[in-house]
């Protein structure tokens, strides 16, 4: 992948030097007492709470240590991929007479707080519709390479583009269909549709990004397809449980994920990616 020297997005929020800033029980009681006293004296307890929490987070950042220098190149890479998604989706939304709202990508280490709640790095990269942010622990790329046997920069770009695909779905209110579904097998099937469409949108992004400014090299596409294959529900369940339970799928099989990413990459046609109109058995 040729990416060095290209524009980097300004919408990166680097929290790697911060811990989650969660308050210990003793500290929480102390803060509440201070806020109560402030209220009784006629002050604004909300301002006191905010000030103390900010100080606590700053202190946590001082203890977390500086970022690993080896991660800095990865940070630049992520910034370039994010910038490419911004350029492509701004153009595509304009063609739909819509305005694209750029998401923020949060880099964190081990644990993070989002509008969707507390998350551990073990969950992998994720998009939170509550704050329109993508969350990424850069160590996931090591896991992608070592655990999932999917090395390569375009495999990493696919992961980012997939999460941005969820942002696009959120802006277009496609995600609402999943939230409205009842829990259980039907909810799982709607989730599979959403995830496969995000794979399609990742491929769709790559198609249009390549047309804007070619960046792919021989072997790059295979890297992304290996990543899609590695994180299919069937493969992950087989590895973890020794058996496959289709009714519990939430992301789709390896074959499905490859197929929908490839469809977006090969067609660049938004109308070809409506996974909600196709019978579930034909996905």
Q: What is the pLDDT of residue 117?
A: 94
The reply to whether 60 and 72 lie within a common domain is no
The strand pair at 126-128 and 133-137 is best described as: antiparallel
As a whole number, mean pLDDT of residues 172-191 equals 88
Q: What is the pLDDT of residue 186?
A: 87
Confidence of residue 57 (pLDDT cuts 50, 70, 90): very low
Nearest to 184 by CA among 120, 250, 93, 97: 250
Q: What is the pLDDT of residue 246?
A: 87
Between CA 127 and CA 186 the distance in angstroms is 22
Total number of domains constituting the chain:
2
Q: What is the pLDDT of residue 18?
A: 80
The reply to whether 150 and 35 lie within a common domain is no
The strand pair at 104-108 and 12-14 is best described as: parallel
Between 79-83, 131-135, 178-182, 203-207, the lowest mean confidence (pLDDT) is in 178-182
Between CA 128 and CA 133 the distance in angstroms is 6
Confidence of residue 42 (pLDDT cuts 50, 70, 90): low
Nearest to 13 by CA among 62, 75, 77, 101: 75
The tokens for 41 are 């004296």
* Class of residue 34 by CB neighbours under 10 A (exposed 0-12, middle 13-18, buried 19+): middle
The reply to whether 26 and 75 lie within a common domain is no
As a whole number, mean pLDDT of residues 175-201 equals 90
The reply to whether 36 and 97 lie within a common domain is no
pLDDT of residue 109 exceeding 50: yes
Which pTM does this prediction carry?
Answer: 0.83
Q: What is the pLDDT of residue 69?
A: 75
Between CA 275 and CA 63 the distance in angstroms is 46
As a whole number, mean pLDDT of residues 236-244 equals 86
Q: What is the pLDDT of residue 101?
A: 98
The reply to whether 89 and 184 lie within a common domain is yes
The reply to whether 170 and 232 lie within a common domain is yes
Write the DSSP string, 87-126: HHHHHHHHHTT----PPEEEEESSEEEETTEEEEGGG-SE
Average pLDDT for the chain: 86
Between CA 69 and CA 53 the distance in angstroms is 29
Q: What is the pLDDT of residue 44?
A: 56
Between CA 217 and CA 196 the distance in angstroms is 25
pLDDT of residue 19 exceeding 70: no
The reply to whether 124 and 181 lie within a common domain is yes
Neighbouring residues of 185: CB distance < 8 A, sequence distance ≥ 6: 247
The reply to whether 156 and 215 lie within a common domain is yes
Q: Domain of residue 235: give its range.
A: 68-282
Q: What is the pLDDT of residue 72?
A: 93
Q: What is the pLDDT of residue 82?
A: 98
Write the DSSP string, 43-60: --HHHHHHHHHHHHHHHH
pLDDT of residue 73 exceeding 70: yes
Nearest to 166 by CA among 227, 221, 105: 105
Encode pLDDT of 83-108 as tens digits. 999 999 999 999 999 999 999 999 99
Between 209-213, 223-227, 235-239, the lowest mean confidence (pLDDT) is in 235-239
> Residue 122: inside a domain, yes or no?
yes
Encode pLDDT of 23-39 as tens digits. 333 344 444 444 444 44
Encode pLDDT of 148-171 as tens digits. 999 999 999 999 999 999 999 999
């Amino acid at each position: 992948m040729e990416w060095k020297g290209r524009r980097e997005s300004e919408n990166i929020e680097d929290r790697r030097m911060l811990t989650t800033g969660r308050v210990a029980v003793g500290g929480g009681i102390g803060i509440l007492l201070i806020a109560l006293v402030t209220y009784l004296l006629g002050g604004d307890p909300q301002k006191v709470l905010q000030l103390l929490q900010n100080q606590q987070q700053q202190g946590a950042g001082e203890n977390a240590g500086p970022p690993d220098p080896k991660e800095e190149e990865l940070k630049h890479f992520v910034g370039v991929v994010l910038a490419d998604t911004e350029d492509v989706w701004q153009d595509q939304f304009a063609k739909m007479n819509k305005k694209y709202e750029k998401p923020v990508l949060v880099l964190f280490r081990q644990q993070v707080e989002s509008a969707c709640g507390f998350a551990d790095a073990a969950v992998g990269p994720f998009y939170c519709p509550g704050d329109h942010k993508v969350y990424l622990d850069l160590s996931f790329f090591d896991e992608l390479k070592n655990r999932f046997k999917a090395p390569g920069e375009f495999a990493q770009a696919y992961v980012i583009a997939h999460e941005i695909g969820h942002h696009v779905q959120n802006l277009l209110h496609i995600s609402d269909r999943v939230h409205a579904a009842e829990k259980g097998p039907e909810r799982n099937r709607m989730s599979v549709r959403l995830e496969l469409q995000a794979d399609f949108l990742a491929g769709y992004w790559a198609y249009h990004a390549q047309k804007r400014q070619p960046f792919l090299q021989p072997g790059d596409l295979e890297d992304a397809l290996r990543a899609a294959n590695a994180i299919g529900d069937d493969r992950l369940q087989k590895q973890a449980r020794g058996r496959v339970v289709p009714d519990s799928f939430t992301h789709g099989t390896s074959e499905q994920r490859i197929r929908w990413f490839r469809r977006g990459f090969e067609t660049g046609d938004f109308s070809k990616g409506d996974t909600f109109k196709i019978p579930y058995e034909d996905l």
